[in-house]
Chains A and B, each alone.
Chain A
Amino acid sequence: MYYIDPHIHMVSRTTDDYETLAKMGCVAMSEPAFWAGFDRGSVESFRDYFRQLTEVEPKRAAAYGIQHFTWLCINAKEAENVSLSREVIAMIPEFLERPNVLGIGEIGLNKNTRNESIIFLEHLQLAIQYDQQILIHTPHLEDKYQGTRMILDMLCDDTRIDHSRVLVDHVEEHTIRAVLEGGFWAGMTMYPISKCTPQRACDMVEMYGPERLMVNSAGDWGPSKPTAVPDFILEMRRRKHPESLIRRVVYENPIEFFKQSPGFKFVPRDADSAILQ
């Protein structure tokens, strides 16, 4: 089955991973900007990172027939440095017209601090000003519930934000309902230890239905599994769910959400086999 991974950090993965994902049916992916594992020292580091996301990764992906899209921001961890964050936010518009850019992300909260909230709000202003879609990171573990509620407060306070153009990622059992009831899209991230498992992601599809719901691997430099979406597909099949339901979650839903962005020039595999470059 063809699928799209809507959240995966390929700058952290090897070329072998691109090959494996292609063999497993991955036809497209979106890569939000995130924390590199260390705090970067200047806006120039981010400019280089955004070049990597808009120039290098699309080529690496295309070599395996995968279409690569991306999101730009300064992540919540580095948002504690407010002055650097503002420099990065001011620089982002240089890249918004690049052909694989879908919007602003993954913005959000990490430890739910005042500075993180201020920079989150400034990212929202940027997205509104440039009519961009938004991809949101919600915090981990004990901070997730509080942080997700805070994020939803900020999103709902601003009437200019179209909820159907916002993806709130890393939802789990205690946050998914509020996100979906708010009219937002929700992403379930499947990690080996923290976040969600393929089994629990299937449970949430069964409990809430497939509407505005996606699954992703968030494969990055930490303990993660870039093939988590195929694991989800297998678990859904083991539970006897129809192929149409599985396809909706792993393929049709990402397309429905992403196509709201002018940067999503996706070529379906069935319609055009010439995407291998």
Chain B
Amino acid sequence: MNASPCTANEILQREFLEIRCKVLELAASLDRLERAEGSVAGDVRLTRVREALELLLESRPDRAEQVQLTFSRPYDSAWQTAFGIVEH
């Protein structure tokens, strides 16, 4: 379903400055990390951030969902067995 009454051009017209601002904020945050003492290069959180940024460059309609999954713990369908909880 795509029920947006606005055209792509209208959305870009309205949101370009916001998008630009958000990209700049990200760039500045990464610069801040770069300038600071010490290194977080091996921190898994930063790895996830890089994976998420790569997702943004893909052409697909579900980037937000995929970014969410990037930052999510995995689901194991056998969790009830692991917990010893009997299904009703």
Is there an interface contact between B75 and A174, defined as CB atoms closer than 8 Å? no
Q: Encode contact with B along A174-213: 1 for CB under 8 Å, 0 otherwise.
A: 1000000000000000000000000010010111110000
In the bound complex, residues from chain A placing their C-beta under 8 Å from that of B84 are 114
A159 to B73 CA separation, bound complex (whole angstroms): 28
Q: Encode contact with A along B58-88: 1 for CB under 8 Å, 0 otherwise.
A: 0000101100110111111101100111011
Q: Encode contact with B along A82-126: 1 for CB under 8 Å, 0 otherwise.
A: 000000000000000000000000000000101001100100000
A200 to B68 CA separation, bound complex (whole angstroms): 12
Question: How many residues on B have C-beta within 8 angstroms of the other chain's C-beta atoms?
Answer: 26
Is there an interface contact between A200 and B64, defined as CB atoms closer than 8 Å? yes
CB distance from B64 to the nearest CB of A (A): 4
A206 to B6 CA separation, bound complex (whole angstroms): 11
Question: How many residues on A have C-beta within 8 angstroms of the other chain's C-beta atoms?
Answer: 31
In the bound complex, residues from chain B placing their C-beta under 8 Å from that of A143 are 73
Is there an interface contact between A145 and B1, defined as CB atoms closer than 8 Å? no
In the bound complex, residues from chain B placing their C-beta under 8 Å from that of A200 are 64
Is there an interface contact between B64 and A203, defined as CB atoms closer than 8 Å? yes
Which residues does A use to contact B, with CB under 8 Å?
A: 112, 114, 117-118, 121, 141-146, 149-150, 153, 157-159, 172-174, 200, 203, 205-209, 238-241
Which residues does B use to contact A, with CB under 8 Å?
A: 1-6, 14, 62, 64-65, 68-69, 71-77, 79-80, 83-85, 87-88
Pairs A-B, 6 closest by C-beta atoms: A174-B68, A145-B72, A240-B5, A173-B65, A149-B75, A173-B64
